[in-house]
A and B are shown apart, each in its own frame.
Chain A
Amino acid sequence: MSAAYEGAVADLIAELGRLPGVGPKSAQRIAFHILSTDSDDVARLADALIQVKARVRFCAICGNVAESEQCRICADPRRNDTQICVVEEPRDVVAIERTREFRGRYHVLGGAINPIDGVGPDDLRIRELMTRLASGVVTEVIIATDPNVEGEATAAYLSRLLGSMGVAVTRLASGLPVGGDLEYADEITLGRAFEGRVRLDA
């Protein structure tokens, strides 16, 4: 589609089209939005892009986004050192932090095992996780990968790998979406919900 435009506009559409979730039509729409936007606003956007690459890096311990050697969570002495929650991406850390349920540490894998895309266990930060567990301080690893096929398979791989290390390995219960009807739940979701059922205390 960008072939229909020339020079700078075509370049912008091509670059935008490489972003995740942005198809050719959206890229075109965003490009024309930018063209009709104030120069100051565009400069702020451009600056934000440059700053994020210049300032933000990945935490040396957990792989989360950080503005220094360690991320905010790894640097916080009040967090519980005995629990590590394993997630796929930094945005998952944000999602779990929003719940305020978890006070332990995180480990960001950098994705999920996806053999068709050529991503195997060695391409994720699994060795780094094993190194963190070697000290013996951690007693529970909570696997919070996405509840899809790749996330589940990654969880299966990790639980097999960690099974021999003497730490408790738990998986987030994945159940029925709140607000949904039981009769519309698919078999996999309903099956997982059964597996993760909890005792109701009287």
Chain B
Amino acid sequence: MSRTYRDEAVVLRTHDLGEADRIVTLLTRGSGQVRAVAKGVRRTSSKFGARLEPFGVVDVQLHLGRSLDVVTQADTLAPHGRSIMADYSLFTTATAMVETAARLTEVEREPATQQYLLLAGALRALAERAHAATLVLDSYLLRALAVAGWAPSFAECARCSRPGPHRAFSAPMGGAVCGGCRPPGAAAPAEETFALLGALLAGDWAVADRSDDRHRRESSGLVAVYLQWHLERQLRSLRHVDRTGAARVDRTLDPAVAIIGRTA
């Protein structure tokens, strides 16, 4: 077997190592999460430059090492980092996405192609401002959890499968719950919020883009609760997500959404 391999990857995060090196955590298309050393990357003369900064999608060549692999070459496939880091809402949103991806692919080298494709797609949607950042984030979180085996239910009852719509939501039970299954203290979201959550999980953007701020906020709260319930440790970056800016970005860029979205 060759000691060198090549793959596509999203840079999840970086840690400085020694004077000039950096450990980059990659989510690769073929081999799941890989931690690798980028030697000399912090020197201004480095051939890697900013290619190995978080959120970038790269074509990397790696050399198998004893504990950590070594990055021998990196080419940019999508320089999302630049537009994301220039906007504080996009940056905090993307950070929550990569932290989630890192958490859901924690077993190193366990292939996670679905998670890779989902994250690369979500980062692109974010960088290109295809939809409001808060919607891209919540859709990503729901779908990443579904790929990890924790698909929520927003229509039929998560416990007894009774057809919906239902009026209660319980993260421990897996989403919407009917009147009979509803535990004490379950949330009671608006019907439109359930519809939005379903659209975000299904990737039905026509419905999601038309939603109004109130239901987006309620969805985000429920997605956060659902996510934290399924991840053992708290996600540190989630509380830093800047959603005020995200709403503003959406309005300035899409007048149609601005008009429809403000009727509430």
Contacts and interface: CB of A to CB of B under 8 A. Distances in A.
Interface of A: 20-21, 23, 26, 113, 115-118, 120, 147-149, 152-153, 156-157, 160, 177, 179-180, 184-189, 191-192
18 contacts: A20-B16, A21-B19, A115-B236, A116-B95, A116-B98, A116-B99, A116-B236, A118-B236, A149-B81, A149-B84, A149-B91, A153-B88, A177-B45, A179-B45, A184-B47, A187-B79, A187-B82, A189-B49
B245 A160 contact: yes
B88 A157 contact: yes
B86 A149 contact: no
Interface residues of B, number: 37
B181 interface: no
Given A117-B236, A186-B51, A187-B79, A149 B85 contact: yes
Contact of A152 (B51, B85, B236): B85
Contacts of B19: 21
B13 A160 contact: no
Contacts of A118: 236
Interface of B: 13, 16-19, 44-45, 47-51, 53-56, 76, 79, 81-82, 84-88, 91-92, 95-96, 98-99, 236-237, 239-241, 245
Nearest to A187: B79
Q: Which 10 A-B pairs have the closest CB atoms?
A: A186-B49, A115-B237, A188-B50, A177-B44, A115-B240, A152-B85, A153-B91, A187-B79, A157-B88, A120-B240
A122 B153 CA distance: 36
Given A116-B13, A116-B99, A152-B86, A191 B79 contact: yes
Contact of B95 (A20, A115, A152, A187): A115
Contact of B85 (A26, A116, A153): A153
B17 to A, nearest CB: 7
Contacts of B18: 21, 23, 26
A1 to B, nearest CB: 13
B58 to A, nearest CB: 10
A116 B14 CA distance: 11
B76 A149 contact: no
Given A115-B236, A157-B88, A188 B53 contact: yes
A188 B92 CA distance: 19
B14 to A, nearest CB: 8
Contacts of B96: 115
Given A116-B95, A160-B245, A188-B56, 14 more contacts: A21-B16, A117-B236, A118-B236, A149-B53, A149-B54, A149-B84, A153-B85, A153-B91, A177-B44, A179-B45, A180-B45, A186-B51, A186-B76, A188-B79
A149 to B, nearest CB: 5
A189 B50 contact: yes
B49 to A, nearest CB: 3
A23 B17 CA distance: 8
Contacts of A120: 239-240
Contacts of A157: 88
Nearest to A177: B44
A17 to B, nearest CB: 13
Contacts of B56: 188
Contacts of A180: 44-45
Nearest to B98: A116
B88 A156 contact: yes
A82 B14 CA distance: 37
Contacts of A179: 45
Contacts of B45: 177, 179-180
A160 B18 CA distance: 34
B81 A188 contact: yes
A148 B128 CA distance: 20
Nearest to A151: B85
A181 to B, nearest CB: 10
Contacts of B82: 187-188, 191-192
